[in-house]
Structure 1
């Protein structure tokens, strides 16, 4: 229900969860010659106002997560910050991903150095999962964040298979609760700031999954919940169920998104723009393709992920087509003309999408982290973003 917001006196409580109020205010500037309007769409949950989902931007409403406050902290750190979806939490635009790295090619000591480089660069969101490295990613990350845990927004995931048992996978209460407790032990923390369902589980009722996540939040072991690799309708339906019962909703969704993979722009991106769900973009460098790591027809470098993992080789076979390499060459030249690298362009272009809360980038060395963080400082103009898109679409990619 939408209604005009009327100031109240006394102790009257706000409307119940699920109702909406549209607030319109007018104010005069100091010269008293112009008038500006500010329109907020607020939601009320359990008697408390949540942050506004949208703010007025010209004649359009822009998601709040796209706003980039100009604070002294932003000027000091290489990276800038955005809201995590429509929550009040601020996360670095470039975050540290641990999939395929920590607990695999990266040992404990290297993890410590990489995490230290991330903190020094201003990165405050670190993303992991219980299946990365068969749990070693969390095991190595836990000791590395001791002493700086209060500076980090820590996210992990559960749902995928971790054992041979019938219930060692899925989004059931049984598995998710067990997975959360195991992740907390490995990470040596008493809570996760963001807990994500790693994949949609068609065998478990959505009501069971969302109620389980609500109980995690109520217990204090989870602050916010998110989805990963869901379709737009699955996030929408899940959040509708949660809204109906006043449960915690998905604040974020992890999406496979980069210059060579834009399928999410059909449904997920418009959905997130409309609802305030924040996108965490993973594989932004296309497993190294968009970092200039590989060349068409040349052997994989010995120290590359493709040389070590079959899964990465299959990924490169899918995206390392002649047409895509032609696009990569043109994008590389375009970036170099502006004194930037291809990798910086790939990340900066994703950050032109206002529904993206953070770009999750992996790293196997500290200097990779520093190089990735620099991309946050390159803000493409709308004209530049359009030029990049035109380069990609010119070859039908």
Structure 2
């Protein structure tokens, strides 16, 4: 395993990390989660991602119980969680980044995770109804109280991130250090030119999610949606149109020989491609079985195979130019 700094911050994360979205509680209980986290940790993973909203808080509970069973030294791993969507229906507790919600929300997450602090706390989306300064000051307070070490954003527009950074700098507050954007061969918009200032000038890091496009890039959906896959889960019907997009499936199949020439599976190929971006600090992987964790970790064996010629070939397949 190799490690990268989170942008210009001092903290380092494993190039591949492990997240709980969709799988914890929905597909995996405490025992399976413990086994998968152990396999990731044994491979050198030091960063484990979660969010308050995942499975309505149950994902955090499962990760907390798994961490208790694993009994790792706290300094050897990092945990992140995210706030915004909320798990209650009150007007001040849902789809918001107001100070009251953030200060209470972190307490709830820490209780479910059974931790004294998280290493990174993300604002899971931006909130146009709350002044950015209110959010920045609340996140600063959370860090000052020792409940998080760093904070970041997730799926924020570049202008919103810059506004938060400038407010933090102007008032000598803890600034955000990292964005958590979607990023895969089909979805690259969070690294569009307007973000160059965020990553280049301000030294933001990124911990990217959905590197396999919810499984589309694994190739397993070429003959439809198999039973037990993410696309077959109750409540994830919205994914089915994406996973059965004929044009994208054809592009995935066109990528298969490129992966095979490297000796990689499509999953390993797609993960290794994400790591070609120098602004990517860590690629968050997911799994419902320990065998998938072990397969994903092998993606690191192929990162050096992406020569400029190979990258051009990939772009011609995926984007048509």
Q: Deviations over 1:278-320 (max 9, x none)?
A: 111111101111111211xx33111111111343x42341364
Distance 2:99 2:126 in 1: 14
Structure 2 residue 135 is matched with structure 1 residue 209: yes
1:185 maps to 2:111: yes
1:62-98 per-position Cα deviation (integer Å, ceiling 9, x unaligned)? xxxxxxxxxxxxxxxxx21111121111111111011
Unpaired segments ≥5 residues, structure 1? 1-78
Could you say which residue in structure 2 is the equivalent of 1:93? 15
Q: CA RMSD in A?
A: 1.5
Q: C-alpha displacement at 1:246, in angstroms? A: 1.0
What's the TM-score once normalised by structure 2's chain length? 0.94
- Asked whether the equivalents of residues 226 and 250 of structure 1 are also in contact (C-alpha less than 8 Å), the reply is yes
* Higher strand residue share: 1
Contact (CA 8 Å) 1:94, 1:359: kept in 2 or not? yes
For 1:315, the equivalent position in structure 2 comes to 239
Deviation beyond 6 Å, 4+ runs, structure 1:
none
Partner SS for 1:255:
coil
Q: Which has the larger radius of gyration?
A: 1
Equivalent residues of 1:226, 1:251 under 8 A apart: yes
Give 1:194's aligned residue: 120
The whole-number CA distance in structure 2 between the counterparts of 1:269 and 1:232 is 5
1:16-73 deviation digits (Å, cap 9, x = unpaired): xxxxxxxxxxxxxxxxxxxxxxxxxxxxxxxxxxxxxxxxxxxxxxxxxxxxxxxxxx
Q: Partners in 2 of 1:360 and 1:309 — Cα distance?
A: 23
The equivalent of 1:390 in structure 2 is 316
2:199 to 247, 272, 288: 272
SS of 2:127's equivalent in the other structure is: coil
Using the alignment, how far apart are the partners of 1:102 and 1:329 within structure 2? 30
Q: Quote the residue 1:347 is aligned against.
A: 271
| Runs of at least 5 residues in structure 2 that lack an aligned partner in the other structure | none
Higher relative contact order (CA 8 A, sep 6+): 2
TM-score, normalising length from structure 1? 0.76
State the shift of 1:268 in Å. 5.5
